[in-house]
Amino acid sequence: MKSSTLRTYQTVHTWTGLLAGFALFIAFYAGALTVFRDDIAAWQNPPWRSATDAGVPVDVLVDKLLEKHPAAREDFGIVLPTDSSHAAYAYWVEKGETRFATASQMDAPTTEAAGNELADFVYALHDSLGLPVVGLYLMGIVSVLYGLALVSGILIHLPQLVSDFFAMRVGRNLKRLWQDAHNAIGVLSLPFHVIFAVTGALFCLFTITLAALNTVAFDGKLFDAFAKATQTTPAVVASGTPASMLSANVLMERARAQALTSGVTSFEPDYLHFAQYGDRNAVAEVRGLSQHTLGTFGTVAMAAHDGSVLETHVGKRYSLNGISYAALFGLHFGSFGGRTVQWLYFILGLAGAFLFYSGNLLWIESRRKRRHLDQPRRTQVMARATIGVCIGSCLAISGAFAATWIAVRLGVEAGLPQRIACYGLFLVACGYACVRPIARATVELLWATAALTIVVPLVDLAFNVGDIARAWAPLGWSVLGVDLAGIALGLVFVSFARAAARRARRGDTNSVWAMETAARPSP
């Protein structure tokens, strides 16, 4: 390949990485935590401190819904709890707006599902940076840039890939060490990054892509065709003849039995959908999670009054559309392989965050003046932005955990404290990085992140150690696992803080990372 072509790819790789890197760092760091979404939910509401309405039977929830909102019988859903500490909630459309309510909230339903759940908040940071609608489309564009960075990076390093792949040259040349680590992680996790780039772009830009194709290529008929091709519940019209409905437990058991005949080894219902409830033509759809298959989520549709199976979209009975979408979802979230795959995705997620952080450091190192105390403004700006956004987002997420813990202990809704703590700490960190000397801000923000990340699980363990010891159950282990993982992650930040402080004191004095006192020559 010509040197001019390589330089072109180098430019594409650099600028697409820089433009998308900050958002991708947040998405990967939050995404690594999102892998353990159910465990984080159990940490917030462990079995010995259940949420309001936990344990309320689904049929009681349905009765309360139809008593207070009879029009909902035409179409409503029930989101089942992830564990015994959480409550099922219903959702339906009323006056053109989606409503959500647990059994005790039927008089005053909300417009947001489970708004106080920490796991959902962390997922929103991963999915859309916590910005509704706009953030989703922004992450779609970021995913496209991410794909360009991957392709250009592979083309740049392909000629020397074999010779340098296992090279990890430790020494005084820190730029070369960072370059080796950046390249090795990028290549080792390449399939993972390709999956994320493709699925992220598809999920985030799907609506826009569909609308564009509908106008350009399908003469306005694509939306109807797509709905028919992907629907899993048969369209029904009310007969006008009332009928008694089977209980939710009976419907779920029949759905599980039907699913197990379709080639899957498990089927755990997590969602129910009813159409024309109470009518003889009523349909009940049960969605469930199946492990050890890329088609993680499947559905079984039945007649609600007698349980006769109408349609099955599980295992080998998946349609091509269904298995394609389910496979994309399973690959993106790592939901297809149990704990082993979850831990693999967690490690790769953190490695991905490091990839974008190290990319920024390489850009700074490549453009600094090596024989001058005063560094170019562009390297200083990039250094401040890197520590403010990257370290600040880690501090902010730890702050959201702390705010949730305090809110639960005080018996108040955790949604608002989560957001105040997370966004507040993020802005404070960015501001701090702008006004403090760069090296000092780096070390101090890392120590603050380490301290908060360690203190929250330690305090939680101190308060819950007796309950954890008594609750030798999967939920108890989930709480313990989140706390231990938090402590381990905090220790990683401790090592980063110590390394940054060591470099600031003993490293190259002609660097943005050097302490001011070290950077000045002796009189």
Whole-model pTM: value is 0.86
The pLDDT score that the predictor gives to residue 518 is: 39
The pLDDT score that the predictor gives to residue 373 is: 53
The pLDDT score that the predictor gives to residue 353 is: 92
The pLDDT score that the predictor gives to residue 113 is: 73
Low pLDDT (below 70) residues in the chain: 1, 114-116, 157-181, 183, 367-375, 471-475, 516-523
The pLDDT score that the predictor gives to residue 473 is: 62
Between strands 268-275 and 75-79, the pairing is antiparallel
pLDDT tens digit sequence for 448-470: 999 999 999 999 999 988 887 77
- Residue-range domains of the chain with CATH: 1-52+118-230+337-367 (no CATH), 231-333 (3.10.450), 371-523 (no CATH)
The pLDDT score that the predictor gives to residue 335 is: 81
Question: Cα(405)–Cα(392) distance, rounded to whole angstroms?
Answer: 20
pLDDT tens digit sequence for 159-216: 666 555 555 555 555 556 666 667 677 777 788 888 899 999 988 988 888 888 888 8
Question: Cα(267)–Cα(409) distance, rounded to whole angstroms?
Answer: 35
Buried b (16+ CB within 10 A) or exposed e, 127-148: bbbbeeeebbeebbbbbbbbbb
User: Are the beta carbons of 388 and 434 closer than 8 angstroms?
Assistant: yes
Q: DSSP assignment, residue 279? A: B
Query: Residue 144 — φ and ψ, nearest 5°?
Result: -65, -45
The pLDDT score that the predictor gives to residue 472 is: 58
Residues 6+ apart with CB under 8 A from 252: 269, 272, 286
User: Are the beta carbons of 334 and 344 closer than 8 angstroms?
Assistant: yes
The pLDDT score that the predictor gives to residue 308 is: 94
